[in-house]
Structure formats: C-alpha cells, structure tokens
Chains A and B, each alone.
Chain A
Amino acid sequence: MRFFGRGHGACPGCGLAIAVRNILEALEGKCFVVNPTGCLEIISSQYGRNAWGVPYIHPLFDNAAAVACGISEALKVLGREDEGEVVVLAGDGATADIGLTLHGMFDRNHDVIYICLDNEAYQNTGHQQSALTPLGEATTTTPAGKLMLGKIGRKKDMVAIALAHGSPYVATSSAVLPADIRRKVKKAAKIEGAKYIQIHCPCVTGWGIDGKDVVKVGNLAIETALYPIVEFENGKLLTVRKVKERKPVEEYLKIQRRFRHLFTSPEGRKVIEEIQKIADENALRYGIDLKK
C-alpha cells in the first residue's frame, strides 16, 4: 500500500518529499494529514492529481494548527481516536510566520503531531525569507548586494518556543536521516498532547544544489552543528546527535548557491564568522562535540 503516490510534482531530489514518505511509513498510513499552502500542497494536491493515499485536508496558510485541533477533538467526540494520528505537515513559513496560531494548539495541548518541514524559506512562491531562513542566505526579499548580504538575523528558535509552551515532545530531525524521522514520529504518536517535530529539508531549487548533493548538504548541516538534531520529552533533553569532528561552516555554505555571495567580499567573510559563532553556540548548548 502506498501512502504518498509516485507522479507527484516535486523537483527531482526534493528533501521534503523524502521526509513526507518516511513520516507516513512510520505511521503505517494511520493518520489524518493537515497540510497548509506551500510546496507540499502544490506538488501533491492539485485537483485530479492527488498524490495522497491517506486522509488529507488542505486548510488556509495560517490555520493548519486550528484545523488539526478541530479534527483531533472531533475524533474524540466520535470515539474514533484509534483510527489514526492527526498530523500537521507545514512549511517553515506556515509554521514560524503566518501560521504561528499554533500557540493555541500548544496552550490547550490538543493531541496533534505538528511537523514543520523546514526548507528555510518560502519556496513555493519563489524563495522569499521566512523566520526560519538562516543568517546570510540570499532570498528574493533579502537579496545579496552592496547594502545587504542576505538575511539579517538568525533562525527563529521554534524548538524553544514549543518547549516554553510545555509541549510533551519536541524534536528536530533531517530528511537525510530517514531512520531518525521514523523513530521520532513513532515516539510522538505514543505521547498524548501537542507535539512538535522540525525536519530540515534540503531544497534543490531554492538552495541552488544538485540532487546528487542533497544528502551531502543535509549531512553537512548536522556535522557543522548548524542544524542540531535533538529530542526533548517533558522539557528534558533526551538525545542529541553527536559529531565526532565538527566541520567548519564554510564546507556547508560553499556548495550552495544561496550563500555563494558570502565568499566574494571581506564583509561576506564577516558574516561567515558570525555563522560559525552560531554553530559554536549550538555545539556548546547541546553538547554536540563528542569528547575525545
């Protein structure tokens, strides 16, 4: 049985499609998917071209969490909770900017797995910055030029926001770690309440990478500590993906078109230093470096 059909419209090598396939496999298709506007919706739900083999609803860009809460409560009232998990699959823009209504879901602790597919910009509309776009990334709304060197400021810390709400399960993962995705989704399914999982999803088109390098780029984000892979249960840090020998951030940045402007000027070099500082802070905060 297929849960996500072939013939969908994602770009060749799309990280988000890898993540979605593994999420649905982990749940053995027993789920109700709520997917706001974004790449995933466009590639999978055009009328007459539906790629879903599981129940699916497309709400507005801004209300996926609210719709999911409604489905979750309705299933309870109808005594149908056993039929599957209510899962939000939302982009980073839908999660960290426009759909931040997910606070209500956390406040009332509805039984929902909220998954953010983080491709670090509004990719569906042509690569505009979101609150999860990293420092220095050139997007169409933060173009690299004389006055500006890409996005100003850091990624919004959605993990900390979910934890501040007292979410019972908060984790990050990556499309290049299918086994990790499956384990975390299965675990979240066993826990009652509003769970949050954020998955790093390399985007060939927006990031300017080749399909053949998707896995390499995804792994480098982890090996540089720019994307910490962590897991919290009831606010306590449970697991951290350790790194034996942390790589300098240049190795990650230099193979992606979205960061190439940083290598052509002394000002760009300064931004790279800032990005390295972020990686160092992440490593310290989560104890990512494996002690020798």
Chain B
Amino acid sequence: MKIRLNIGAISEPLQSEQFKTGDWGTEWSFVDREKCTACRVCEQFCPDGCIEVKEIEGKEVAVVDHNYCKGCGVCASVCRYGAIKMELKELFKVDVC
C-alpha cells in the first residue's frame, strides 16, 4: 500500500511579484541617462531588484521599475556617477501654510 503524505505548504515560485511595493515610499529613484555609465553597481545593491541595466535607444542605461521601487535611496547612495536622484512623489508635494 502506498500512502501519499503532503507535509507543510507548497508554493509556486515568485508569487510576490503580484504585490506592487512601489506605493510604499514617499520617494522614487530616477536615473539621468546622460550620466549613467551602465556600471551595474546600483543593480547589485537594490534590495528589491527593481533597478536594472537595459538597452534603451541603443544605449545601455539603468532603468527603475516604479511598480516596485520602495524609495529607500540605497541606489542613489552607491552610484559613483551621481546619476540617480531621489524625488518626492507628486502625491506628497503639498504646500504647508
């Protein structure tokens, strides 16, 4: 007799990608394509894997996916070429009187 036992829960890979963490932070990072040298340092440092070097209009540059970017600023702190700026989201640009 064979008994089939399933112990614990089994999940599909990469299900987390359905959860868009881009709305977590108050800021997003933006890359200056002129300054970016495609060195990939930011790619290695992003805790969320959402800044990646891609080919755009024949040039390799870092691209941020704002669907996931939590605005931590780690990438901006490691870019040696000053190519990454953190910017407040429109939503938070309020005038305080």
Contacts and interface: CB of A to CB of B under 8 A. Distances in A.
B11 to A, nearest CB: 4
Interface string B11-33: 11111111111001100000000
Contact of A50 (B14, B44, B74): B14
A17 B11 contact: no
Given A2-B49, A8-B48, A47-B9, A214 B72 contact: yes
The prevalent SS among residues of B at the interface is: loop
Contact of B15 (A17, A48, A210, A216): A48
Contacts of B45: 18, 176, 178, 215
A103 interface: no
Given A10-B47, A22-B44, A5 B14 contact: yes
Contacts, number: 110
Between B12, B48, B71, B86, the greatest number of chain A beta carbons within 10 A of the residue's beta carbon is seen for: B48
Instruction: Kindly state the interface size class of chain B when it binds its partner.
Output: 20 to 34
Interface residues of A, number: 37
A215 B71 CA distance: 15
Nearest to B65: A6
A51 B12 CA distance: 9
A13 interface: yes
9 contacts: A5-B14, A6-B50, A7-B21, A10-B47, A10-B48, A13-B74, A18-B46, A52-B11, A204-B72
Interface of A: 2, 4-10, 12-15, 17-18, 21-22, 44-45, 47-53, 58, 176, 178-179, 204, 210-216
Interface of B: 8-9, 11-21, 24-25, 44-50, 65, 67-68, 70-74, 76-78, 86
